[in-house]
Amino acid sequence: MLSNGRLDLGDYDYYLGTTWRNQMLELRFDTNQGCFLGQPAGSETTLRIAPQVLTKTDLMGELGHLLALPAYQLTLPFTHEAWRQFEYTRILTGTTF
């Protein structure tokens, strides 16, 4: 958290007050309540922060390329790019150029 009590998430500044300025904040998104829950370091207090100006992509990340994958588990630790190269290699095995 910044010295002025603000927290930057995405393109939005959340003002949390000067009580928590310069504090480390553990932040997670609670899907049941639809809000961020923050816990300042060394405190039992939980702050509820309503999301502002955030899209589904901001919250979930880019899932489009994962939806295009076949319905089986990848051998990890492949990245999507490495998996694609692996598949091309498998398909082109035995091909003469």
Encode pLDDT of 19-37 as tens digits. 878 888 899 888 888 899 9
Which pairs from 39-47 meet CB under 8 Å and 24+ separation?
Answer: 40/1, 47/16, 47/20
Specify the pTM.
Answer: 0.54
Torsion of CA 73, 79, 84, 87, to 10 degrees: -50
Mean pLDDT (the chain) is 79
Encode pLDDT of 71-89 as tens digits. 666 566 677 788 788 888 7
Band (1; pLDDT cuts 50, 70, 90)? low
pLDDT greater at residue 64 or residue 19: 19
